[in-house]
């Protein structure tokens, strides 16, 4: 087999890259080790920045997003018994976010790639990259018990944080930055209508909680829990008790309960691999960087990366110009570090840190009070939340 761009991973990064390349007449093959139904049903991100929505609209992927997505023009922050609304409309000249599940984007992308005759191979195994420093790189994999090889001009490693792409860059060439947080998030998908019109981030005396949503009848809630905690320690009753306790911290507000459809625990980490290119291999999305979910930036950064990468491949095929390929990491990393900083800021502001001193807790409160009283502070949060323009 032969293609121009071999793409590893059918998450938002790999699938969108394949779509953007196809629009420029560039061939690609996507290799995914999970099944189609697994990737289409994996519950993850939900917040699309306005730049993400604009890009998806521009490239013909917003048909369902337009009628199923929920536009939001603010978020609420609760701290002890006080509430503060960040008004995106007023603070960012009308920019907003749209709530639309990541798995819905993945469904839209797969459907479009299949309709356009794109090659997305699911349930492959043993994917490996043979020497990315050569001009033609080989991708090897197994499917249905048979070994295959694809000769590619370039490889895009879009295989998430635990994929193989980053690991095939020699240790001595890697420049990485890492921070782990001393807690995790327990997330639940609930069959109940949202209890508020907008997302609520709460720093309560007993820890962080987030009330989010997926549709007018499905909510998504998160609570801070201990690192390495087993989900079996969290009965539905215990989860509801924690959610009521942490979210109902302002007068006259009640959380609506419903059947818990799914639950899972996610550790919190900030990580950046600045080596986003090694020879003909380019890393994009979670393969190169992850953020704690508090700022809702992960998928948006993955989409920003592939918009740069598709432009760089396009310039190379159209005019053999290497400039954008050479500047790929630099262009992406400006957005990545902004997203890293914002996610760290939101995480630091809103969680209870084990062993934190009364001094640190006073600093959190001082920052919240600053948001409540300073338009400049709220504007900064708003502009980071709705996101900056990429490409």
Burial class (CB in 10 A: 0-12, 13-18, 19+), 25: exposed
> 107-116: buried (b, 16+ CB within 10 Å) or exposed (e) per residue?
bbbbebbeee
By CB under 6 A, residue 220 contacts ligand PHB = yes
Q: Which of 299, 332, 346, 381 binds ligand RFL (CB under 6 A)?
A: 299
Q: Which residue number, 197 or 362, has a Cβ lying nearer to ligand RFL?
A: 197
By CB under 6 A, residue 34 contacts ligand RFL = yes
Is-contact 301 291, C-beta < 8 A?
yes
Q: Which residue number, 157 or 194, has a Cβ lying nearer to ligand PHB?
A: 194
Q: Is 58 a catalytic residue?
A: no
Position of minimal CB gap to ligand PHB? 46
Cβ at position 226, least distance to ligand PHB in Å:
19
By CB under 6 A, residue 300 contacts ligand PHB = no
Q: Which of 47, 371, 381, 382 binds ligand PHB (CB under 6 A)?
A: 47
Count of C-beta atoms within a 10 Å radius of residue 222: 20
282 alpha carbon, distance to own chain's centre: 18
Nearest by Cα to 288 from 180, 159, 154, 173:
159
Nearest by Cα to 95 from 388, 324, 391:
388
Which neighbouring-strand residues pair with 273? 176
The interface region with ligand PHB, picked from 40-48, 110-118, 351-359, 364-372 by CB under 6 A, is 40-48
Q: Which does 286 bind (CB under 5 to 8 A by kind): ligand PHB, ligand RFL, none?
A: ligand RFL
Contacts with 75 (C-beta within 8 Å, 6 or more apart), sequence order? 85, 86, 88, 198, 199, 200, 201, 385
Label residue 177 left, alpha or beta by phi (over 0 means left) and psi (-120 to 50 means alpha).
beta
Q: Is 297 a catalytic residue?
A: yes
Q: Is 345 a catalytic residue?
A: no
Q: What are phi and psi of 355, to 5 degrees?
A: 65, 20
By CB under 6 A, residue 268 contacts ligand RFL = no
The interface region with ligand PHB, picked from 12-20, 242-250, 288-296, 313-321 by CB under 6 A, is 288-296
By CB under 6 A, residue 285 contacts ligand RFL = yes
Element housing 202 (H / E)? strand 200-204
The interface region with ligand RFL, picked from 156-164, 174-182, 237-245, 273-281 by CB under 6 A, is 156-164
Query: What is the C-alpha separation between 353 and 345, in angstroms, rounded?
Result: 13
Determine the size of the site formed for ligand PHB (CB under 6 A): 10
Q: Which residue number, 166 or 246, has a Cβ lying nearer to ligand PHB?
A: 246
Secondary structure of residue 33 in the 3-state scheme: coil
Which neighbouring-strand residues pair with 246? none
Q: Which of 73, 181, 201, 278 is catalytic?
A: 201
Query: What is the C-alpha separation between 297 and 285, in angstroms, rounded?
Result: 11
Q: Is 251 a catalytic residue?
A: no
Count of C-beta atoms within a 10 Å radius of residue 292: 25
Cβ at position 227, least distance to ligand RFL in Å:
15
Q: Which does 335 bind (CB under 5 to 8 A by kind): ligand PHB, ligand RFL, none?
A: none
Q: Which of 297, 308, 328, 335 is catalytic?
A: 297
Q: Which of 92, 294, 300, 347 binds ligand PHB (CB under 6 A)?
A: 294
Q: Which of 137, 296, 382, 386 binds ligand RFL (CB under 6 A)?
A: 296
Residues designated as active site: 72, 201, 293, 297, 385
**Residues forming the site for ligand PHB (CB under 6 A):** 45-47, 199, 210, 212, 220, 293-294, 296
């Amino acid at each position: 087999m032969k293609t121009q761009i071999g793409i590893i991973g059918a998450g938002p990064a790999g699938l969108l890259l394949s779509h953007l390349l196809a629009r420029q007449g560039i061939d690609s093959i996507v290799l995914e080790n999970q099944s189609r139904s697994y990737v289409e049903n994996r519950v993850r991100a939900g917040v699309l920045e306005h730049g993400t929505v604009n890009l998806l609209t521009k490239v013909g992927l917003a048909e369902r997003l337009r009628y199923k997505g929920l536009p939001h023009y603010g978020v609420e922050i609760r701290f002890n018994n006080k509430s503060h609304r960040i008004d995106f409309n007023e603070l960012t000249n009308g920019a907003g976010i749209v709530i639309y599940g990541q798995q819905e984007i993945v469904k839209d992308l797969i459907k479009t790639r299949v309709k356009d005759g794109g090659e997305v191979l699911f349930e492959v195994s043993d994917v490996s990259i043979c020497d990315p420093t050569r001009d033609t790189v080989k991708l090897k994999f197994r499917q249905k018990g048979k070994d295959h090889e694809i000769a590619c001009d370039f490889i895009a490693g879009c295989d998430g944080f635990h994929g193989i792409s980053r690991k095939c860059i020699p240790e001595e060439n890697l420049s990485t930055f890492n921070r782990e947080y001393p807690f995790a998030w327990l997330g639940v998908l609930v069959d109940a209508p949202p209890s508020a019109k907008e997302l609520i981030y709460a720093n309560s005396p007993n820890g962080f909680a987030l009330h989010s949503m997926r549709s007018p009848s499905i909510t998504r809630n998160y609570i801070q829990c201990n690192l390495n905690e087993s989900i079996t320690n969290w009965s539905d009753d215990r989860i509801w008790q924690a959610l009521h306790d942490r979210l109902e911290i302002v007068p006259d507000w009640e959380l609506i309960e419903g059947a818990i459809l799914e639950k899972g625990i996610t550790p919190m980490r900030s990580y950046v691999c600045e080596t986003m290119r090694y020879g003909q291999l380019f890393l994009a999305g979670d393969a190169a960087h992850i953020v704690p979910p508090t700022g809702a930036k992960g998928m948006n950064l993955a989409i920003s990366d592939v918009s740069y990468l598709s432009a760089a491949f396009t310039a190379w095929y159209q005019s053999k110009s290497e400039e954008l390929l050479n500047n790929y990491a630099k262009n992406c990393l400006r957005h990545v570090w902004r997203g890293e900083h914002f996610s760290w800021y939101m995480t630091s502001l809103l969680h209870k840190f084990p062993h934190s001193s009364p001094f640190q807790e006073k600093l959190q409160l001082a920052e919240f009070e600053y948001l409540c009283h300073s338009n400049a502070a709220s504007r900064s949060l708003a502009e980071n939340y709705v996101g900056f323009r990429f490409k």
